[in-house]
Structure 1
Amino acid sequence: MTEKLTMAVIGFGKSATRYHLPYLMLRDNIQVKWVYARHLNKRPAEQEFYKQHHVQFTDNVTEVLSDPAVKLVTICLPPALRFAFAKRCLEAGKNVLVEKPFTSTVAEAKALFDLAAEHNLLVMPYQNRRFDGEFLALQQVLQVGYLGEPLELESHFDHFRPDPEVKQGAPEDGAFYGLGSHLVDQVVALFGRPQQVSYDIRAQQNPASTVDDYYDVSLFYPNFKATVKSSSLVAQPYPRFILHGTQGSFIKYGIDQQENDLKAGLTPAAAGFGEDSPKFFGELNYQNANGDWINKQLPTPRGDYGRVYDGLYESIIHGAAPLVSADEAITDLAIFAAGFSQLSPSIYQLW
């Protein structure tokens, strides 16, 4: 009989109801026993749905943390609250998954990893976009070696959302810590620690804002460069990925469809959920071993954010290595922090 992993979710906002709970409801080996909501009955219809799936709701976090059945807690709270709640959960003997950005500082991240090690527990950031379909396609291109040695990668995640209002907040409230935490993590997952990083981070729509809405950041490795870039004023989309190598190129338009399908009210169990349109399949143009040029489409693998929880199950129940290592999480945060350590544009020698 398969052992069940009993868990709780701290928070019942968009993050929990869109990116976590719909996937958890499909996993027979994981049981969500508790949801902590600071304001009960704020979403009565959604709350009732999950109650029908044997989920209990509470506004008392002590009730969750004192339950010995709970082995994993997912924290879906605003950035400023995550460190304190993660620390409290670890001290209560719970494994912890934390929404991104993981913490505000490298020091906080190291403190959580040290505390987890002291209690023989796991703590990990929620890097669900390691399971975006287009990232899985990029990963496939690199693993097969179609393009030879990779030389340059561009990763774009843009929108057209004009908003000239003055925004006030901390760095972790901006676009680089927000969307950028996914794009940087994808590069680190594939290529490891960069040697040097250059930054252009700014409030593009209103320079009076203290919160950035634009970034153009390049990560430098020996004979390889990866650029991650995002803007809210892009009306004509760039490719999501552009990868050049010694034997060819790979171009992929379009972002993973899971988020759009979730917004439309579909569940991950729906037929065709998250599937990419063939018109957005990546295009490979490369020279094979015979010197022939090959041009073909690469079908996009189906993404599945629930695979984060499959990995957590294997780590907590069977002792497998975590999907996101402590070194990767700290590397990500060091890159974010360095971007705000001096005025942009800037160059930072990380290692």
Structure 2
Amino acid sequence: MTLNVGFIGFGKSTTVFHLPYLQIRDNLKVKKIYSRTKKTEMEEPYKKDGIEFVYDLQELLADESISLITICTSDETHYDFAKACLEHGKHVLVEKPFSFTGEEARELLRLAASRNLIIMPYQNRRFDSDFLAVQQALESGKLGDPVEIESHFDYYRPEAPDSPESSRYKGAVYGLGVHLIDQAVSLFGKPEKMYYDIRSVRNPGNPDDYFHIELFYSGFKYILKMSHLVKEPYPKFLIQGTSGTFIKYGIDQQEDHLRKLGKKPGEEGFGEDPEASYGKLIYMENGMEKTDILPTPLGDYGKIYDLLYDSIVHGKPKPVSNKEIETVIEIMERGVNGANPKVLTFTVEDEGIS
């Protein structure tokens, strides 16, 4: 069965992180894209693939042949567009962040449940190659029990001109932290407590551009860090366990291959990690120290569409659960509100939204 897909938004998110993956999948067909303005030159290659562009949102929402709509617009529009899609009987995939507040998220989840529809965020970085390597290292059992896990998004971008954005929801936590938080939650669920240090270090007038967040679980903690002032990069991931250490340098290559090299998913070498960036697993076994070099698994952002297809067509659980959606948003929302630094106890209980 082929599922027809529509898009709201026709910017880099749509053209870089979504369409290349959908165009190589036979069971998902992009039928229409809604854009506020005509972009004739950009549209032409996609029109040749049979995609229709519309400039009236109702024309997209009223198309009964479209089952799923992906929202790739500015963050502050996600809630309103998602609500409109659900009210027109569409399943919805929302680019991150899913919403700014837990209240908005719960309203959307309840509306979807009342109409037997699926809605979830596009948490594509669950399918980053570096994160898949972390899962592989944990599942090997060679690390023993985790004691501390550290995850980074670091850059060296010292210039920070005044930003037109002033909202607490428009900084690094909601922009990049959402990915790191979701990765942690996908592995371990709700933390017991959270420590936050969130600030703007380059230009105090701008939204946050630095965070250090610690999620405390029973027996271990998961550290999430992001900064624009890191000249010499940290490991992307570092795991300390009772029996050993896993260390992985270098970020997933999909974005660079798509943006800088013009490569496409399915092409030879797409997304492959260089051997120099393979993770190293150092552990004790029978009193002896051993070292394993772990070839990095191949990442694939399109996998989230495969899993979502199975949820819509075959009734399987959706890949990002309601509880995970609410957990990620509470961690972000409580972090950016109020004074920093701080330590908080997790509060959201499962409301049974299904």
Within 5 Å, which residues of 2 pair with 1:45-56? 45-56=41-52
Pick one of 18, 27, 30 that aligns with 1:29: 27
Distance (whole Å) between structure 2 residues aligned to residue 206 and residue 117 of structure 1: 42
Distance (whole Å) between structure 2 residues aligned to residue 166 and residue 176 of structure 1: 18
Within 5 Å, which residues of 2 pair with 1:83-94? 83-94=79-90
Q: For each residue in 1:41-85, what CA deviation from the matched residue of structure 2 results, as whole angstroms up to 9, or x when unmatched?
A: 2xx333111111110001111011111110000000101101000
Secondary structure of the structure 2 residue equivalent to 1:85: helix
Pick one of 307, 310, 314 that aligns with 1:314: 310
Report the counterpart of residue 243 of structure 1 in structure 2: 239
Report the counterpart of residue 350 of structure 2 in structure 1: none
Q: For each residue in 1:130-159, what CA deviation from the matched residue of structure 2 results, as whole angstroms up to 9, or x when unmatched?
A: 000010010111122120111100101101
Distance (whole Å) between structure 2 residues aligned to residue 144 and residue 95 of structure 1: 36
1:172, CA displacement in angstroms? 2.1
Is it true that 1:111 corresponds to 2:111 in the alignment?
A: no
Report the counterpart of residue 40 of structure 1 in structure 2: 38
User: Structure 1 runs of 4+ off > 4 angstroms?
Assistant: none
Within 5 Å, which residues of 2 pair with 1:259-270? 259-263=255-259, 264-270=261-267
Pick one of 4, 7, 11 that aligns with 1:6: 4
Distance (whole Å) between structure 2 residues aligned to residue 45 and residue 302 of structure 1: 33
Q: For each residue in 1:296-326, what CA deviation from the matched residue of structure 2 results, as whole angstroms up to 9, or x when unmatched?
A: 2100000000001001110000011011000
Within 5 Å, which residues of 2 pair with 1:133-172? 133-167=129-163, 168-172=165-169
Does the 8 Å contact 2:168/2:337 carry over to 1?
no
Does the 8 Å contact 1:214/1:230 carry over to 2?
yes
Is it true that 1:121 corresponds to 2:124 in the alignment?
A: no
Distance (whole Å) between structure 2 residues aligned to residue 221 and residue 346 of structure 1: 17
1:169, CA displacement in angstroms? 2.1
1:346, CA displacement in angstroms? 1.1
Distance (whole Å) between structure 1 residues aligned to residue 130 and residue 143 of structure 2: 17
Does the 8 Å contact 2:153/2:226 carry over to 1?
yes
Within 5 Å, which residues of 2 pair with 1:1-351? 3-41=1-39, 44-167=40-163, 168-209=165-206, 211-263=207-259, 264-288=261-285, 290-351=286-347
Does the 8 Å contact 1:146/1:286 carry over to 2?
yes
Distance (whole Å) between structure 1 residues aligned to residue 287 and residue 44 of structure 2: 61
The aligned amino acid for 1:335 is: I
Query: How many matched pairs?
Result: 345
Secondary structure of the structure 1 residue equivalent to 2:271: coil
Structure 2, unaligned stretches of length 5 or more? 348-354
Does the 8 Å contact 2:169/2:336 carry over to 1?
no
Q: For each residue in 1:312-347, what CA deviation from the matched residue of structure 2 results, as whole angstroms up to 9, or x when unmatched?
A: 110000011011000001000000011022111111
Secondary structure of the structure 1 residue equivalent to 2:100: coil
Does the 8 Å contact 1:101/1:172 carry over to 2?
no
1:235, CA displacement in angstroms? 1.1
Aligned CA-pair RMSD: 0.9
Q: What TM-score, normalized to structure 2?
A: 0.96
1:37, CA displacement in angstroms? 0.7
Distance (whole Å) between structure 2 residues aligned to residue 111 and residue 171 of structure 1: 21
Distance (whole Å) between structure 2 residues aligned to residue 146 and residue 83 of structure 1: 43
Distance (whole Å) between structure 2 residues aligned to residue 245 and residue 163 of structure 1: 38
